A and B are shown apart, each in its own frame.
Chain A
Amino acid sequence: MLGRLRQMLIKEFLHVIRDKRARFFLFAPPVIQTLVFGYAATLEIKHVPIAIVDYDNSQVSRDLVSRFQASRYFEVRRLSDRREIPELIDRNEATMALQINSGFARDLGKGETAHLQVVVDASNSNSALVGLGYVNQVAQGFAREYRLKTLARQAPALAGGLPEIVVERRPWYNPDMSSQWFFVPGVIGNLVLVIVVTLTAFAVVREREIGTLEQIMVTPIRRVEFILGKTIPFFLIGLLDTALISAAGTLWFHVPLNGSFLVLGAGTVFFILCMLGVGLFISTVSATQQQAMVTSFFFIMPAVIFSGFGSPISSMPEILQHLTYLNPLRYYEVVLRSVYLKGGGFGLLWPQMAAMAAIALVMLTVSVLRFQKSLE
């Protein structure tokens, strides 16, 4: 038994070492994805290009414009004619345009409501929403001060005792609200998913395609020996990749690992077991590497989207929210971010661990049962 398993493992590692594609697959995606998510992927929206047409051209309106110019959220471009706006937006040189009509200062001075018009390119609805929020913030801040100033001039006695609410921000676990801190731990889950599922599926299907699987099946090898031989290497590779990305996250991006390695390791083991089960399952339903690739893709895309890696599960439609409970990545992302940023331990994360263990058990059992030592 051990002799056979040992030979299987030697062979699998030789394949990985000698196969250029597999070698590339082991190290390139972790590096590239960590860099991409570490640097480029960010939920923050900064430097929104905004065009401003000021037809009022008063002291007050200039004051308002300068507030936009001072904000780090906007890149202001002054226009003299609003007819320039459509072309600017079409060419993506501005995503927003603010128009201050003449009479703005006069209306405010009379104590009336003054109107600002904002045009926004809402083809990206998310950044449009965020941009509008920023504009609102600047405008409201300006209005508040204007009101206070007016009040101070006209009724100084009242101005001092005006009630105010100030929101004091206390962002826990990620005081700078850094996107990197959010994404780098999360990307571990994505990568382990992609690497373990595809490598496992391909390792079996490739042998089916070149005919060696048939050769192995006529030997007295036992099903469990074959499956262990096929999964142990990718189990270890999954762990290695996790270690690699964790090291990059800590040493390069300075994401703190507040929880324990042990909890992170336990979660990773359960998750990798799930992915081995998925990979084996794909290999039992695919006859060629091409089929395996397409099938993997059908699994990987929804698994990542419905994991909470990028967009929060709580904002998905309710029925989809229920479906995410079947997705092992959903639990692993919780474990990753909790261990990294919140310092979560077993006491907190056991439901996620248990869910992953259950999914792993089901997937592995189904795949092992489906895997027969025959060609039918």
Chain B
Amino acid sequence: MNGQPQAVVVQDLVKRFGDFTAVDNISFEASRGEIFGFLGPNGAGKSTTIRILCGLLHPTSGKALVAGVDVAREPERVRQNIGYMSQKFSLYNDLKVIENLRFFAGMYGVNQADAAERIAWAIDMAGLTGREHLLTGTLAAGWKQRLALGCAVLHRPPIVFLDEPTSGVDPISRRLFWELIHRMADEGVTVFVTTHYMDEAEYCNRLVLIDRGRIVASGSPLELKLKSMEGELLLVECDQVGKALEALQEAPGVTDAAIFGHALHLVVPDAERAIPEVRNYLGERGITVSRIEQIRPTLEDVFVSLTSLKGRREKEQA
């Protein structure tokens, strides 16, 4: 790590494609052995940032250091130190499991003796023992995903970039995958992961929320929950949810209202005072409230309140 405590340092990073600014002046740092979550809706600039950090795209301006090396200047030195898994789990479907592993071991220049051991490790880790000679294209998504991770870390990189690693994978496989990520982090590997699943964000040590190329919040999951929301959060269960939402958005004393599953989440300045008021307000409009209580915000609430998702959800509702 060149004596550098920080695995990833990003300063004033900007990336433009023509007129479109994909990454708009962002700065953050990720420490060694940390699970660093990069959150945001689709098109927020997550993949662009990760591609810059892997040396696949050149930053328009600003600086990105990975393992202490300037990515824009010495991409090849960075590549020795990183593993990268792109959104599509890019493996060769027409090659067998073992052939994919041998190929990537070769690409990373893992020496012969070490390669056998690492390949065996990756097969075990992915749960593919006995399936080494299957064509990769025939594997289910969860296996492919773990195999892709195995291929990306055969050379024991100290920093791993995972771009939406769990998209299109069933919940059990997602859980297994996050266990693998935690195991790697325990061994001192820095894991830089992008996701738009809020439940996954809870697994991260540190989060950066990004929206339309800008950082809107950062901190640990708990910090974010506490700091990023002004006011308190109410859960409201009632009939005619759509009508209730419409009414509450214009109600005095309600800062914000959004659909959450089958219920509504309200942001109010003072929960205790608001509970009877909301009940009455809805009652006057013929809506029966079955449950109303103060709850602790989840990351999804934070996310909705901080990003453009909020506007989008309201539109969908309308």
- Name A's B-contacting residues (CB within 8 A): 3-4, 6-8, 10-11, 14-15, 18-19, 210-212, 214-221, 373-376
Q: Which residues of A contact B56 (CB under 8 A)?
A: 214, 217-218, 374-375
Chain A CB within 8 A of B88 CB: yes
Contact A210 B88 (CB under 8 A): yes
Chain A CB within 8 A of B37 CB: no
Nearest residue (CB) in B for A4 is B106
Q: Which residues of B contact A220 (CB under 8 A)?
A: 76, 79-80, 107-109
Bound complex: CA of A97 vs CA of B309, how far in Å?
Answer: 80
Q: Which residues of A contact B84 (CB under 8 A)?
A: 215, 218
Candidates A4, A15, A214, A374; contact of B107 at CB < 8 Å: A4
Chain A CB within 8 A of B102 CB: yes
Q: Is the interface of A mostly helix, strand, loop or mixed?
A: helix
Candidates A215, A216, A218; contact of B82 at CB < 8 Å: A218
How many residues from B make CB contacts under 8 Å with A? 32
A7-B102, A210-B93, A211-B87 known, 8 other contacts, Cβ within 8 Å: A3-B109, A4-B107, A15-B95, A215-B86, A215-B151, A218-B56, A219-B108, A220-B107
Bound complex: CA of A19 vs CA of B86, how far in Å?
Answer: 24
Contact B90 A212 (CB under 8 A): yes
Candidates A3, A14, A218; contact of B94 at CB < 8 Å: A14
Q: Which residues of B contact A4 (CB under 8 A)?
A: 106-107, 109
Per-residue contact bits, chain B 31-63, to A (CB 8 Å; 1 contact, 0 not)? 000000000000000000001001111100000
Chain A CB within 8 A of B75 CB: yes
Contact B109 A214 (CB under 8 A): no
Chain A CB within 8 A of B91 CB: yes
Bound complex: CA of A95 vs CA of B75, how far in Å?
Answer: 70
- Name B's A-contacting residues (CB within 8 A): 51, 54-58, 75-76, 79-80, 82, 84, 86-88, 90-95, 99, 102-109, 151-152
Bound complex: CA of A108 vs CA of B56, how far in Å?
Answer: 88
Nearest residue (CB) in A for B100 is A11
Chain A's nearest CB lies how many Å from the CB of B317? 35
Candidates A14, A211, A375; contact of B57 at CB < 8 Å: A375
Q: Which residues of B contact A374 (CB under 8 A)?
A: 55-58, 75
Candidates B58, B76, B90, B106; contact of A6 at CB < 8 Å: B106
Bound complex: CA of A316 vs CA of B100, how far in Å?
Answer: 52
Q: Which residues of B contact A3 (CB under 8 A)?
A: 106, 109
28 contacts between A and B (CB under 8 A): A3-B106, A4-B109, A7-B107, A10-B99, A10-B102, A10-B103, A14-B95, A15-B94, A15-B95, A18-B95, A210-B88, A210-B90, A211-B88, A211-B90, A212-B91, A215-B84, A215-B90, A215-B91, A215-B152, A218-B55, A219-B107, A220-B80, A220-B109, A373-B75, A374-B56, A374-B75, A375-B56, A376-B58
Bound complex: CA of A14 vs CA of B152, how far in Å?
Answer: 21
Chain B's nearest CB lies how many Å from the CB of A223? 10
Given contacts A214-B56, A374-B55, contact A15 B106 (CB under 8 A): no
Nearest residue (CB) in B for A7 is B106
Q: Which residues of A contact B79 (CB under 8 A)?
A: 218-220
Bound complex: CA of A212 vs CA of B100, how far in Å?
Answer: 11
Chain B's nearest CB lies how many Å from the CB of A155? 87
Nearest residue (CB) in A for B81 is A220
Chain B's nearest CB lies how many Å from the CB of A93? 53
Bound complex: CA of A10 vs CA of B84, how far in Å?
Answer: 23
Given contacts A212-B90, A215-B84, A215-B86, contact A376 B109 (CB under 8 A): no
Bound complex: CA of A214 vs CA of B94, how far in Å?
Answer: 17
Chain B's nearest CB lies how many Å from the CB of A211? 4
Bound complex: CA of A211 vs CA of B144, how far in Å?
Answer: 14
Bound complex: CA of A210 vs CA of B151, how far in Å?
Answer: 16
Chain B's nearest CB lies how many Å from the CB of A112? 81
Bound complex: CA of A105 vs CA of B106, how far in Å?
Answer: 89
Bound complex: CA of A181 vs CA of B43, how far in Å?
Answer: 61
Contact A214 B75 (CB under 8 A): no
Bound complex: CA of A7 vs CA of B58, how far in Å?
Answer: 28
The 3 closest A-B pairs by CB, nearest first: A7-B106, A211-B90, A219-B107
Chain A's nearest CB lies how many Å from the CB of B265? 37
Contact B58 A216 (CB under 8 A): no
Nearest residue (CB) in A for B89 is A211
Bound complex: CA of A258 vs CA of B103, how far in Å?
Answer: 45
Chain A's nearest CB lies how many Å from the CB of B143? 17
Bound complex: CA of A7 vs CA of B110, how far in Å?
Answer: 12
Bound complex: CA of A40 vs CA of B109, how far in Å?
Answer: 53
Q: Which residues of A contact B151 (CB under 8 A)?
A: 215
Bound complex: CA of A11 vs CA of B96, how far in Å?
Answer: 10
Residue in B87, B104, B105 with the greatest tally of chain A CB atoms within 10 Å: B104
Q: Which residues of B contact A19 (CB under 8 A)?
A: 94
Nearest residue (CB) in B for A18 is B94
Chain A's nearest CB lies how many Å from the CB of B83? 8
Bound complex: CA of A216 vs CA of B91, how far in Å?
Answer: 10
Bound complex: CA of A212 vs CA of B103, how far in Å?
Answer: 12
Nearest residue (CB) in B for A374 is B56
Bound complex: CA of A302 vs CA of B75, how far in Å?
Answer: 41
Contact B51 A7 (CB under 8 A): no
Q: Which residues of B contact A14 (CB under 8 A)?
A: 94-95, 99
Bound complex: CA of A257 vs CA of B14, how far in Å?
Answer: 64
Contact A376 B57 (CB under 8 A): yes
Residue in A6, A8, A215 with the greatest tally of chain B CB atoms within 10 Å: A215
Given contacts A7-B102, A373-B75, contact A15 B92 (CB under 8 A): yes
Given contacts A15-B94, A220-B76, A375-B51, contact A7 B88 (CB under 8 A): no
Bound complex: CA of A10 vs CA of B92, how far in Å?
Answer: 13
Nearest residue (CB) in B for A225 is B107
Candidates A214, A373, A375; contact of B90 at CB < 8 Å: A214
Q: Which residues of B contact A18 (CB under 8 A)?
A: 94-95
